[in-house]
Chains A and B, each alone.
Chain A
Amino acid sequence: MAKGIMEIADSSFDEEVLRSEKPVLVDFWAPWCGPCRAIEPLVEELAETFGDKFKFTRCNVDENPVTPTKFGIKSIPTLIFFKEGKVLDKIVGIVPKSKLEEIITKV
């Protein structure tokens, strides 16, 4: 398991993401996705920097088919930023860390 990042399942999604007090980043990934593995260290670094204000999670789309379908995910990695149960921003594909920092700071 990745450092400082909580694994989210279909069953725990509502509790851990939608009802979270802190804003949440969900990294939708799968083991077969090369770029997903590539951004993992970036998300870990973000978790280290912003972990006290933000909750960092990831959701394996292979094991949890319901949640990705609910959010219309057809491409991974997809990163979705949630605040108070609502989607604030969505990033598809790999982007520079600075772009993610920008969104987190804004949220």
Chain B
Amino acid sequence: MKSVDYELVIIGGGPAGLTAGLYAARGGLNVILIEKIVPGGQVMISDWIENYPGFPEGLSGPDLVQKMTEQVKRFDLNIENNEVVSVDFSEPVKQITLNDKTITSHTIIIATGASPKKLGVPGEDIFYGKGISSCATCDGPFFKDSVVAAVGGGDTAVQESLFLTKFVKKVYLIHRRDKLRAAAILQKRALANEKIEMIWDSVLTDISGLTTVENITVQNVKTGDKTQLSVDGCFVWVGTIPNTQFLANSVKLDEHGFIIAGLDAETSVPGVFAAGDVRNTPLRQIATAVGDGAIAAISAENYIENVKK
């Protein structure tokens, strides 16, 4: 085996990366996990999690992250706060360029997750942090007794809109279809909540204001009619985009930029695996990310065994 810095490099410290790290560290591999900000990923901004088993009362995102981090630390997983700038997977010994150095390994797990997608409408960038947000737990309390808009119809949009009702006077939940995509129990809660007013079949087309968000324009996709609404804030939960820019096509991606990986988590490059929200998958949840992380770690371990032979 050619000399490399690590047997395994895991990129990303959300639930997928932490689980892969747990398996690899527990399996005694010489492994490093690179995390660009802090471990936890999108879970860090989740208000309340009640569909991850083992916590019958549910728990907050940051609390779950803390538990996962404690668990990997018990097995001395090496976590480095650094950012992957670029990768070179053209040789069997792969190179990963970080902010201040380049490290090498035969085996990589990419678990860089996804980030909240933007709407791409006028005013969005100007008012980011001035009334536009994707984090209800961070910013909900700023909108006490206010009127806010929320855009989306999936689990995140509905769950977080429900959370906002603890603070705000009213939430306009704007959804482009005539029914929600969220889990039935969340739909039921949202439709029964007096503070949530559904705006069906509609998209947000414009955000305006003086120094903070004051008005939004909503367009009905069936009739084309435009309506202006006065709001103090606007929360955007319209899905995610994968964090794959740093890969620069060194592995195959699908048309939306997610990594194409097989059942064993292997990508188009032997020895490079993908786990969690960053890969092509029918479901993006903490539970699925954790499962992916375990599969990727075991596949990586098998790959390392073969390299040694």
Q: Which residues of A contact B (CB under 8 A)?
A: 30, 32-39, 41-42, 61-62, 72-78, 90, 92-98
Known: A30-B141, A37-B62, A96-B37. 18 other contacts (CB 8 A): A33-B137, A34-B61, A34-B62, A38-B37, A38-B38, A38-B40, A41-B38, A42-B38, A72-B211, A73-B129, A74-B131, A75-B139, A76-B139, A76-B142, A78-B129, A92-B128, A93-B135, A98-B83
Q: How large is the interface on B (under 10, 10 to 19, 20 to 34, 35 or more residues)?
A: 20 to 34
Q: Residues of B contacting A62 with CB < 8 Å?
A: 141
B264 shortest CB reach to chain A, Å: 31
B215 shortest CB reach to chain A, Å: 15
Q: Residues of A contacting B128 with CB < 8 Å?
A: 75, 92
Q: Residues of A contacting B139 with CB < 8 Å?
A: 74-76
B208 CB within 8 Å of chain A:
no
Which residue of A30, A34, A78, A95 contacts B37 across the interface (Cβ within 8 Å)? A95
A67 shortest CB reach to chain B, Å: 13
Complex interface bits, B110-131 against A, C-beta within 8 A gives 1, otherwise 0: 0000000000000000001111
Q: CA separation between A57 and B99, bound complex, in Å?
A: 26
CB pair B60–A34 under 8 Å, yes or no, is yes
Q: CA separation between A105 and B65, bound complex, in Å?
A: 31
Nearest 5 A-B pairs (CB), nearest first? A92-B129, A34-B62, A75-B129, A38-B38, A33-B138
CB pair A74–B142 under 8 Å, yes or no, is yes
B172 shortest CB reach to chain A, Å: 17
